[in-house]
Amino acid sequence: MISKILIKLKIFFNHKSVFWFQGKYNSWAEALSNAKGYSDLAIFEKVKNSVMKVKTGEAIFERDSVAFDKQEFAYPLSLYLFYASTALQNELTVLDFGGSLGSSYFQNRALFSCLKQIRWHVIEQDHFVEFGKNELESKQLQFSNDFNTLLFDSNYRIALFSASLQYIETWRQLLEDISKSEIEFLILDRIPILKQSQNTIITVQHVPSYIYEASYPCYLFNQYELEELVLDSFDKVFELPGMDNLKLKGIEVQYKSVLYRRKKAEKF
């Protein structure tokens, strides 16, 4: 009896539903060749259907393609946004990189209704942007794929990556560009950090079918390597545990949410 239970446990803890990350690859291209890719239309369709429920009032917000009908704020992201908006005189001006169809905006907007100004700009793939512009755009929420122009628009003071930086092949160049911009606050939310001292890993994330059928390349970051590109220009304000708990067999991963603020120029 005991041996049968142990066998079942062994099968369970080696199953893809537990180990969402599969494999270690030498390059992004190699990982991509073993995945469907983030541009898979199955992802877009599931997100679109869920966010339309938000638009019609059937749901309050959408996260990772799932529609939620009860209010739930994103912590610690909402705390970081409050901190930044207070420092920016009750204004919330956000560039949301990889922000889907406004997931973080819709989830947290009720918290910020009293602010003087909200400008939330989602940077996404073309088909997300087209749908967002046609169905969801408002005075507060916009969509674009032109991050180069927006990044150096001084009207935006917060750069947000919520469960997105790890899926961007050119994340190093993007962080370098942000360091050169006028962005005041940088939020890296729900990012996977390797617990052990080893180089950043490229793997493939497999999403269970109960969410949607998809797989795409993903970075698991060495925190020192990540912050090497950030801490010359920004100070770390807060670092808190992230909400995710995904695994790669044999590798310890911890999700984190970190708020950085641009260093003040030294006075002589």
The span from the CA of 128 to the CA of 98, in Å, is 10
CB atoms closer than 10 angstroms to residue 7: 10
CA distance 255 to 158: 21
- Quickly tell me which residue has 């291209």 as its tokens: 29
pLDDT at residue number 19: 64
Counting beta carbons within 10 angstroms of the beta carbon of residue 113, is it exposed (0 to 12), middle (13 to 18) or buried (19 or more)? exposed
Distance CA 2, CA 264 (A): 62
Please check whether residue 203 is in contact with residue 25, taking contact to mean a CB–CB distance below 8 angstroms: yes
| Cα separation, 185 vs 233, whole angstroms | 11
Place of tokens 């698991």: 220
Structure tokens at 112: 């910020």
196-221 b/e (C-beta count within 10 Å ≥ 16 → b): eeeebbbbbbbbeeeebebbbbbbbb
In sign, the C-alpha dihedral spanning 251, 169, 242, 87 is positive
Phi, psi angle pair for 14, to nearest 5°? -115, 5
pTM of the model: 0.89
* C-beta separation of 72 from 108 below 8 A: no
Structure tokens of 79?
């705390």
Please report, in tens digits, the pLDDT of each residue of the chain (268 residues total).
444 433 333 333 344 445 689 999 999 999 999 998 666 677 788 899 999 999 999 999 898 888 898 889 999 999 999 999 999 999 999 999 999 999 999 999 999 989 999 999 999 999 999 999 999 999 999 999 988 888 888 889 999 999 999 999 999 999 999 999 999 999 999 999 999 888 999 999 988 777 777 889 999 999 999 999 999 999 999 999 998 888 888 889 999 999 999 998 665 5
